[in-house]
Amino acid sequence: MSPDLPAPLRLAADRLLEGVSRKGLAERSAKISSGYRGGETSRMVVTDEADAVAYVLSRLPATYAADAFVLAEAQRMAPDFAPARLLDAGAGPGGASWAALETWPGITTATLLDSSGPFLAMAARLAAEGGPALQNANLLRGDLTAPSTDWPQADLVTASYALAEIAPARQSATVQALWAATDGVLALIEPGTPDGYRRILTARETLIAAGAEVLAPCPHALTCPLIAPDWCHFVQRLPRSRDHRLAKGADLAFEDEKFSYLVAVRPDIPTLSRTSRILAPPRVAKPAITFKLCTPSGTAELADVPRRDKAAYAWARRLDWGDALP
């Protein structure tokens, strides 16, 4: 699936710029980024509509790209999964919901859960440009740090860039509550930093203990074989529009969004067999392509595909960081 924002969402985001100072936008974007890096939550850094606009223009393209990658992989690994109900937990302006509807257009009911009033208002404003499931979405004010049994059941549950805002001691309870609300697939996406990876690892342990099956990216349910300072993360490259560059105060026409993720499924969901996952950019040399792999046996290892094996080399050249081997 394309990492670019869907055309209706891009149009809605562009409309937010009408009458907005580009200088003020860049200043707010910088303040938001600084706040997040300093450990502040969305309720602390996104306090009004202007902050929500700055977030949409500076961060939504990248978080959407990561969400699109993860949900496309979930669809590939569970091709018969056809969710009708979505719960987007910690929804922010709704990027994961848009990615879910792009992946599974058959979703008919969506609930966007967030503790931020400005974010929910922005999610509603953007959703007005989407399909019926988004236009009629249930916008639910709720705090992920205080899990509730009132969260609606859903076939697909997403929590994108949300666990980072929860104190470590409370994250396990939140993950358990998200899993309890999941009737099919749960997708967790976090920043591709060592801390984000550790949050995903902790959530993975919690979910496996609760009976979940790991669908991706891990091809096994054993202990992660990576040893610090190494960590499991992936990347999506996305183009930056002129306004996106202004909001970010950036010069490059593209952005590489690094993320860590986990997709868990209920055991009764039919899935493809797990195969080795590529954990880093392939190294292409004259004699061979070398892959760093996480294998179904629970090991991390290097594997070469020699140029002399023309058939294998041909498909190896099409593989990239984050792909699973055929």
CB 257 within 8 A of CB 66: yes
Q: Are 121 and 47 in contact (CB under 8 A)?
A: no
> To 10 degrees, what angle do helices 194-209 and 168-180 make?
50
pLDDT in the model for residue 147: 76
Q: What is the DSSP string of 51-77?
A: HHHHHHHHTHHHHHHHHHHHHHHHHHH
Find residue 86's DSSP bridge partners: 110, 156
Q: Is 193 left (phi over 0), alpha (psi -120 to 50) or beta?
A: beta
Q: Residue 22's pLDDT is what?
A: 66
Nearest to 290 by CA among 319, 269, 255, 260: 319
Alpha helices in 136-253 (DSSP H): 168-180, 194-209, 242-248
Whole-model pTM: value is: 0.93
For residues 11 and 204, give the distance between their C-alpha atoms in angstroms, rounded to a whole number: 37
pLDDT at 247: 59
**Residue for token pair 């936008």:** 25
The whole-angstrom separation of Cα 14 and Cα 17 is: 6
Residue 101: how many CB atoms within 10 A of its CB?
A: 24
Asked if the bond preceding 270 is cis, omega within 30° of 0, the reply is no
What pLDDT digit, counting tens, does each position of 158-189 carry? 999 999 999 999 999 999 999 999 999 999 99
What is the structure's pLDDT at 201? 98
Helix spans in 16-59 (H): 22-37, 42-45, 49-58
Please, are residues 289 and 317 in contact by the beta-carbon 8 Å criterion?
A: yes
What is the amino acid identity at position 185? V
At residue 257, the pLDDT reads: 94
What pLDDT, on a 0 to 100 scale, did the predictor assign at position 89?
Answer: 97
Q: What Å distances lie between residue 110 and 157, 179, 182, 187, 262, CA to CA?
A: 10, 17, 13, 15, 21
pLDDT along the chain (326 residues), means of 10: 86 83 74 76 81 88 96 98 98 97 98 95 96 96 82 97 93 96 98 97 98 98 96 89 61 81 98 98 95 98 95 94 95
Beta bridge partners of 272: none
Tens of pLDDT, residue by residue over 12-63, are 988 887 777 666 777 877 787 777 777 777 777 788 888 888 889 888 999 9
Burial class (CB in 10 A: 0-12, 13-18, 19+), 180: middle
Would you state the pLDDT for residue 25?
Answer: 75
Domain ranges, ordered by start, for the chain: 7-265, 277-316
CATH architecture for residues 7-265: 3-Layer(aba) Sandwich (3.40)
Distance CA 223, CA 43 (A): 35
